[in-house]
Amino acid sequence: MAGIPQTLAISGEFADWPLDQLTAVIKRAEAAGVETAVLPDTIPPAEGGAGWPDALILIGWLAASTGRIRFLGRVSSLGHQPYNLARRLASLDLISGGRAGWLMADEDFDAAFAAFSGKARLEGVDLADREKEFAAVVEGLWQSWDADALLLDKQAGRFLRPEAMHPLDHDGAHFSVRGPLNVMRSPRGRPDLLREADLGPVATAETPRTAFAILDGSAP
Amino acid sequence: MRQMKLGAFLMPTGHHIAGWRHPAAAADAGIDVQHMIGLARAAERGLFDLVFFEDAAGVREARAELAAQTSRSIGFEPVSLLAALAAHTSHVGLVATASTSYNEPFALARAFATLDLVSGGRAGWNLVTSASEIEAANFGAQGLRAHRDRYARAGEFADIVLGLWDPATRTGTLGHDGESFAVRQGLGIPASPQGRPVMVQAGSSDVGRDLAARTADVVFVATQTLSVAKEFYDDVKARAARAGRDPDHVKIMPGVSPVVADSRAEAQAKFDELQALIPDDVGLALLASYLATDALNGLPLDGPLPELKSTEGMQSRQALVVEQSRRDGLSIRQVAQHFAGARGHWRLVGTADDVADQLEEWFRGGAADGFNVMPAYFPGELDNFVDLVIPELQRRGLFRTAYEGSTLRRNLGLAA
């Protein structure tokens, strides 16, 4: 009998994952002791077709009906700016009580190029270099605030300690970002940022049926 | 009978700049999702059409010393927050602001379409073009684009988003190749029960009005007098008709900042208490930022507002401030305090009856289809509005006593 996986990756076609089924699978996974759920963020191919909804929105929504399981969005950086993505993930980490993270996706470049004004933004860009800098900016922005930044002193009119706010002042080959982030650090410090290689063994479910089979220990 | 549409304009601590200092305000609201869930539920209890969040992709105040005295530098990214609020509410609309200057339209359209799916058809997007240098510096831009350029880009952005939201293009292609953006494929996800998210705008300059009249379902506006509100209302409705739209499908909702209590004296005392909590330098900085000017530095606070040249920042807001100051012969400190409380929106201080009288006058007077309510601090002043003003509006037949449906479009009375 297969054991309960540490990580369950949701996969397959979104059409096979009605939202109530998705929620049921995540709740069952949490109850079974799965530590991490990975959500896809697939955009349709350039010529059109089916994709997945925005993984980071799904995480905010799913976080509300769970309490222990960690969520990773398998998101490509290609359609985003580091300030925005850093903010969204930091917000999700606050919302979920420290259960949100970013799994940097192996991107479908042609689809991203077609969806995100690629000719103007991505043509001729060293993508590996861009992604490396993107991640560094995101992680830098997550250090914008010290843990003791908030004073909340109504009497004295002091909301926060100005010394605890740290602009990033990043000026690189691909991005220039002053900072600081306008989201306070979460109690645990920052969201996770992982690459596929960091994940360890993953059980992948193409449909709710296979997910339940995996969680029941009945999958091969 | 025609009834008002109401938005609850939520912020973590409150609309009054010193609201976080009020003894009953939740000062840690910007990190407390449970507090925000409570606000959304209070709005739903009051049968508000929608909750609304503004946004800026940067801190509000770059000067650390000023940021230290206000609660505005931190908060939740609103679309992420609304995803969580969607799970804790069932009828209230969920509207967030996002910028056309610092996003790709495909990514933005997809995020809001996903919010629309998980909320069962309650999402809305408030389009802003972003006018602050603080935000620009987080996106590698060398200064702001000119006002007109920002709106040209915003117009193209809005058309792409509307195209992507169209149920007909979801699994097909959009094939847009324009001046600022290129988007080939559709979103590839199904439409919600309301078809597409509601489009909201608040730009009130000439090009802003044109864009709103052409593309928006709901228009927020900062107006402080009935005559100015009516001019705006008539103008945008006329522009919508000229753009070939049914003017009734563009809902105009001025912002209103009420301070309500059981008696006028109590309401005034509550307002005075809030005003007294505004530090001089904070009030001045807020005013300078709204005027997009540094011309106030070093001027005597008891003197008048100087002549100001038009900037690439908030053009219509600037005109509003200057006009107000001239009309009332206010000093710089007075203007600063006046605007700090309501941030240029319409302010009402009084009993539920007083507030309902004013809202009714604007609503019946052809100046508003409804209002975007901006409580001074949270949660107290939102609860006050729900418990005191809503029942009075209902008694007068001016507001619903139950939701008409479970999608935002249905409740707003918009075509699907």
Interface probe with A: pick from B81, B88, B184, most Cβ of A within 10 Å: B184
CATH code of the domain occupying A7-15+26-42+54-107+127-215: 3.20.20.30
Interface probe with B: pick from A61, A110, A134, A177, most Cβ of B within 10 Å: A61
Average pLDDT value for chain B: 92
Q: How far apart are the first and last CA of chain A?
A: 8
DSSP string, B160-180: HHHHHHSGGGTTSEEEEE-SS
pLDDT number for residue B255: 95
Residue A220 scores a pLDDT above 60: no
Mean pLDDT of B224-236: 95
**Mind telling me how many Å the CA of A176 is from chain B's nearest CA?**
4
pLDDT number for residue A159: 96
Higher pLDDT, A1 or A189: A189
pLDDT number for residue B290: 76
Model confidence at B342, in pLDDT bands (50, 70, 90)?
Answer: low
- Indicate the class that CATH gives domain B5-263+344-412: alpha beta
Residue A1 scores a pLDDT above 50: no
Q: Which residues of chain B neighbour A75 with C-beta distances below 8 Å?
A: none
| Sheet-wide strand order for A70-75 | A192-195, A100-104, A70-75, A36-40, A7-10, A203-205
pLDDT number for residue B147: 77
Residue B16 scores a pLDDT above 50: yes
Q: Which residues of chain A neighbour B58 with C-beta distances below 8 Å?
A: 83, 178, 182
Contact assessment for residue A194 and residue A183, using Cβ atoms and an 8 Å cutoff: no
Q: How far is CA B161 from CA A140, B153, B252, in A?
A: 31, 12, 21
Residue B198 scores a pLDDT above 70: yes
Model confidence at B311, in pLDDT bands (50, 70, 90)?
Answer: low
Cα–chain center distance at A95: 13
Higher pLDDT, A90 or B134: A90
Cβ–Cβ contact B75 with A under 8 A: yes
Q: How many CB pairs under 8 A join A and B?
A: 212
Cβ–Cβ contact B280 with A under 8 A: no
Segments making up each domain of chain B, as ranges: 5-263+344-412, 267-341
Segments making up each domain of chain A, as ranges: 7-15+26-42+54-107+127-215
Q: Which amino acid is at B154?
A: A
pLDDT number for residue B315: 63
Residue B175 scores a pLDDT above 80: yes
Mean pLDDT of B225-234: 96
Residues linked to residue B258 through DSSP beta bridges, in sequence order = B348
pLDDT number for residue A84: 97
Residues linked to residue A74 through DSSP beta bridges, in sequence order = A40, A103
Please choose, from the candidates B344, B287, B70, B343, the residue with its C-alpha nearest in 3D space to the C-alpha of residue A182. Answer: B70
State the binding site of B for FMN. 55, 97, 147, 151, 204-205
Contact assessment for residue B121 and residue B89, using Cβ atoms and an 8 Å cutoff: no
Residue B308 scores a pLDDT above 90: no
Distance CA B172, CA B174 (A): 7
Mean pLDDT of B36-45: 98
In degrees, to the nearest 5, what angle opens at C-alpha B59 toward C-alphas B58 and B64? 145
Nearest chain B residue to A84 by CA: give it. Answer: B57
Higher pLDDT, B142 or B308: B308
Model confidence at A3, in pLDDT bands (50, 70, 90)?
Answer: confident
Please choose, from the candidates B413, B122, B402, the residue with its C-alpha nearest in 3D space to the C-alpha of residue B251. Answer: B413
pLDDT number for residue B132: 84
pTM: 0.94
Residue A71 scores a pLDDT above 70: yes
By Cβ distance, the residue of A90, A159, A179 closest to B138 is A179
Cβ–Cβ contact B241 with A under 8 A: no
Burial (Cβ within 10 Å: 0-12, 13-18, ≥19) of residue B367:
buried
Higher pLDDT, B68 or B339: B68
DSSP β-ladder status, A203-205 and A100-104: unpaired
Distance CA A164, CA A185 (A): 11
Instruction: Flag if A64 and B84 touch (Cβ within 8 Å).
Output: yes
Distance CA A3, CA A218 (A): 9
- Reduced 3-state DSSP string for B319-386: HHHHHHHHHHCCEHHHHHHHHHHHCCCEEEEECHHHHHHHHHHHHHCCCCCEEEECCCCCCHHHHHHH
Q: What is the DSSP letter of B58?
A: S
By Cβ distance, the residue of A14, A94, A119 closest to B189 is A14
**Mind telling me how many Å the CA of A89 is from chain B's nearest CA?**
8
Mean pLDDT of A161-184: 96
Instruction: Flag if A46 and B185 touch (Cβ within 8 Å).
Output: yes
Contact assessment for residue B384 and residue B289, using Cβ atoms and an 8 Å cutoff: no
pLDDT number for residue B82: 98
